[in-house]
Amino acid sequence: MLKIAHRGAKAYEAENTLQAFQKALDLHSDGIELDVHLSVDGHIIVMHDETIDKMTNGKGDINTYTLAELKSFLVAEKYQIPTLNEVFDLVDKKCFINVELKNADTSKQVVSLIEEYISEKGWNYEHFIVSSFDWNALNEVQNLNPKILIGVLTEEDVKEALAFAEDIKAYAIHPDFQLLNKENVKQIQEKGFLVFPWTVNSEEDIQNVKSYKVDGIISDNPDKI
């Protein structure tokens, strides 16, 4: 049962910060999950929303700011917004990284960065899963590099996600945990895909999805898994 820290260990530190990812490592997570967007000058920025409004002392869309400008804003009054490179360097192969593409325009840059870390820094394909609700973005990733492991995100229909996963030869399906039961988890696994539900936080929900024998759980508090 893999423990995957949602946006870092979000229950303990400001989400999607280096501090949240360090906390996830301290809690011995098997993987971390994070979200990405592009800055106006093409850097891969780790943040959930497409604006900086919720998490920083600034306002506006991430894709209207340069990296230098984004670095001048504070998350939770003390931290900087990280780039994807900075998270990769912090994690340094200690666990795998689930990169969630929030927009199709990030596919190329994320694939290039993963390829760079594999060819130049000793990482391997098992260190990365690229997921998205935007299945066109996943098609693009698969076309760019079919070796990259793909997680098909769904909050609506497990059957459709399973059909798409078969189409693109995905690695895993990442469903909203409320869509799951013992039978559909078994169906997905029998087709050869892993099942990583999100975002499972309460003790009761964790026990329930564990009883379905999922392969891993994406949680704000991975230490409770």
Taking the least distance from each CB to ligand G3P, the nearer of 142 and 175 is 175
Q: Is 35 in the site for ligand G3P (CB under 6 A)?
A: yes
- Of 212, 202, 157, which Cα lies nearest the Cα of 181? 212
Instruction: Note every long-range contact of 111-117, with CB atoms under 8 Å and residues 24 or more positions apart, other chains counting.
Output: 111/141, 111/144, 111/145, 111/148, 113/44, 113/84, 113/85, 113/88, 114/145, 114/148, 115/145, 117/88
To Ca ion, the closest distance from the beta carbon of 185 in angstroms equals 21
User: Residues 60, 52: contact at Cβ < 8 Å?
Assistant: yes
Q: Which of 8/114 has CB closer to Ca ion?
A: 8
Residue in the structure block whose two tokens are 């189409």: 167
Q: Which residues bind Ca ion (CB under 5 A)?
A: 35, 100
Is 97 within 8 Å of 113 (Cβ atoms)? Answer: no
Q: Under rule CB under 6 A, which residues in 110-129 are in contact with ligand G3P?
A: none
Q: Which does 37 bind (CB under 5 to 8 A by kind): ligand G3P, Ca ion, none?
A: none
- 126 contact partners, CB below 8 Å, separation of at least 6: 96, 149
CA of 172: how far to CAs of 142, 168, 193, 211, in Å?
Answer: 14, 11, 5, 19
Q: How many CA atoms lie within 13 A of 195 on its CB side?
A: 29
Binder of residue 103, out of Ca ion, ligand G3P, none (CB less than 5 to 8 A by kind) = none
Name the token pair of 46.
Answer: 């780790």
Binding mask 144-183 for ligand G3P (x = CB under 6 A): ---------x--------------------x---------
Q: By C-alpha distance, which of 77, 107, 87 is closest to 47?
A: 87
Site membership for ligand G3P, residue 140 (CB under 6 A): no
| 127 among known catalytic residues | no
Active site residue 48: yes
Nearer to ligand G3P (CB atom), residue 69 or residue 168 = 168
SS3 of residue 7 by DSSP: coil
Shortest CB 129 distance to Ca ion, Å:
12
Catalytic residue, chosen from 28, 37, 43, 48, is: 48
Contact characters 194-223, ligand G3P, x per CB under 6 A: ----xx------------------x-----
Residue 218 interaction partner, one of ligand G3P, Ca ion, none, beta carbon < 5-8 Å per kind:
ligand G3P
Nearer to ligand G3P, 69 or 103 (CB): 103
Annotated catalytic sites, by residue?
A: 6, 48
Binding site for ligand G3P (CB under 6 A): 6, 33, 35, 48, 100, 131, 153, 174, 198-199, 218
